[in-house]
Amino acid sequence: MMRGDAAEEALLERAAALVTQYRIDSDDQLGPLFQSAEHADPEVMRRLRQMFEAGGWVLLESAIADLPADLRWLFESGAVTLEQLTAIYRARGATSVADLAAAVADVALGGIDGVGPDVETAVAAALPMLRVSIPRIPLGRATFIIEPFLAALRASAGINWAYPIGSLRRGQDTVGDIEIVASCADAAPILGQLLSIGDEGRCLHRSERRTYILSDRVQVGIRLPAPENAGAELLYLSGSPAHFGLLQTFAAERGWQLKPGGLFGPDGQLRPSPTEDNIYDTLGLPLIPPELRNGEDEVDKAAGGTLPTLFCRRDIRGDLHMHTTWSDGRDSIDAMVEASRALGYQYVAITDHSPHSAATRNLTIDGVKRQAEEIAAARERYPEIAVLHGCEVDILPDGRLDFPDRVLERFDIVLASLHERVGHSPDQLMKRYASAMRHPLVTLITHPSNRMVPHKPGYELDYDRLFQIAVETRTVVEIDGSPSHLDLDGELARRAIAAGAMVAIDSDSHRAEWLDRQMALGLVMARRGWVEARHVINARPLDEVRALIAAKRASR
């Protein structure tokens, strides 16, 4: 930032106006002063000047740092001055990349006073770079942060519907920002309620139908459009831009115009769209699930009536992977079973780690018998849900399993895992997997790529070969919903089912309170992979699960 005398002073005044725009609820020292500054009260301006002389830059810069993040980065990119940023906000209400992109697409920025075509070009060039140096938020963390906001909105009588937008709604592994769109007629009371959810008093921005609140040090944006056109806003903001582009082309070929602001008929009139369904429906398409909106072949498939019926929450009958205090879980068998029963599951498998796993605590051979007794007691206490005694056994470096067969035989279900690469090449890792899958007592391979989101990519294996062996050996491959795994991811899950492999969608939860959330993340990965109920072992009744286990065991 430049710091010449007159220039500094002018900038301070302009920044004051800008901060006033965004910090309506500000309760810090600076906010009230700047709010008054809008009325050019000479006394206030004198105090501002004093503050400036006394080093008020620090405070001012911290106020700028509190702008909605995309605007701050746009300013810091040098594409706009504070004055231009203020003008863009005033004219367009823009608070994010998506708003700026819509304005640029409309060729509307250049028409704003003080914002010429050169600025418009500069903004367009800056947009793709704005978030490049910002760490992305892992999907699991974003889901955790957004949960209370979504729950509060959905429980609110004035809200018709509320959804996350962007990559969070589409279930990408990581997201650039966290925002919600919720349709409502009267936004004012709802905006007030939301403030109590984030970090205390940390409202970064509030306008008539929009707020940005800090939660767990992350900005959560909430937009509350009026019902008439809220569906169009949700559709545009859900993206992906490539999917929206496909829809625009599809609409144009039929004489309609789809814009970020809504769907316009052949007569040029805006058609109301209270929900996304209205838009798809008007175009003669079924609603395309957000997880499929990647700008690939989904619009063609929807038009041809060949979209899959994606796996959904109500298809789940049980969870085949979870941990208890017998290894590194936090909760007891009873707590996990009780919580699973409350989720409406018909069966669960308790699957603690084997002796040489790198987990902080493991199941020992001696422990297996005592654990079996505890599971027997749980079965009596919870007759409404079947409890399978399982284990997650490590695949050792030589391909053998970390429990002898005489122990493995005692389990109702055996899950096998690679947790350690031990310097092995992809071929050696594949040999270990193949050896485990050929073991008749192994039903399921957990988190096959063994990636750690967002820190470690998965193994570079020949996955088509892995899935082929899974089919040959009648071994199930897992879609693991633990936020650090999300494995198989959507792309690999799609290849797995294309190969004919059966998948399981599991929580891999280490706490009762996380069972549902982690299952939901697994579900998102499965849906990104075009997985349907027929591909999923734990969408089947327990008898069929037992039959599959028995059939493979019978091949010994």
Contact positions vs ligand DGT (CB under 6 A): 97-98, 101, 131, 165-167, 175-177, 236-241, 244
Contact yes or no for 503/528 (Cβ under 8 A): no
Sign, CA torsion 223/228/230/232: negative
| 255: number of Cβ within 10 Å | 9
CB of 300 to ligand DGT, least distance (A): 19
- Nearer Cβ to ligand DGT, position 205 or 389? 205
- Nearer Cβ to ligand DGT, position 177 or 291? 177
Burial label, 54 (beta-carbon count in 10 A; 0-12, 13-18, 19+): exposed
Contact yes or no for 458/525 (Cβ under 8 A): no
CB of 70 to ligand DGT, least distance (A): 8
CB of 239 to ligand DGT, least distance (A): 2
Helices (H), 54-116: 57-65, 69-76, 82-92, 97-105
What values do phi and psi take at 195, rounded to 5?
-60, -30
Q: Which residue has the tokens 């139908």?
A: 209
> Residues with Cβ < 8 Å from 311, sequence gap 6 or more?
505, 523, 526, 527, 531, 532, 533, 535, 536, 539
- Nearer Cβ to ligand DGT, position 97 or 430? 97
- Nearer Cβ to ligand DGT, position 18 or 237? 237
CB of 380 to ligand DGT, least distance (A): 48
- Nearer Cβ to ligand DGT, position 288 or 496? 288
CB of 97 to ligand DGT, least distance (A): 4
| Residues 198-237: b if buried by 16+ CB within 10 A, e if exposed | beeebbbbbbebbbbbbbeebbbbbbbbeeebbbbbbbbb
Q: Which of these, 489, 507, 518, 488, lies nearest to 144 by C-alpha position? A: 518
- Nearer Cβ to ligand DGT, position 117 or 241? 241
- Nearer Cβ to ligand DGT, position 130 or 322? 130
Q: What single-letter amino acid sits at 291?
A: E
- Nearer Cβ to ligand DGT, position 105 or 342? 105
Give the helix/strand (H/E) hosting 498: helix 490-499
CB of 136 to ligand DGT, least distance (A): 7
- Nearer Cβ to ligand DGT, position 41 or 147? 147
CB of 146 to ligand DGT, least distance (A): 12
CB of 461 to ligand DGT, least distance (A): 27
Task: State both tokens at 349.
Answer: 């498998």
Please report the DSSP string for 6-31 in residue order: HHHHHHHHHHHHHHHHH-TT--SSHH
Burial label, 173 (beta-carbon count in 10 A; 0-12, 13-18, 19+): buried
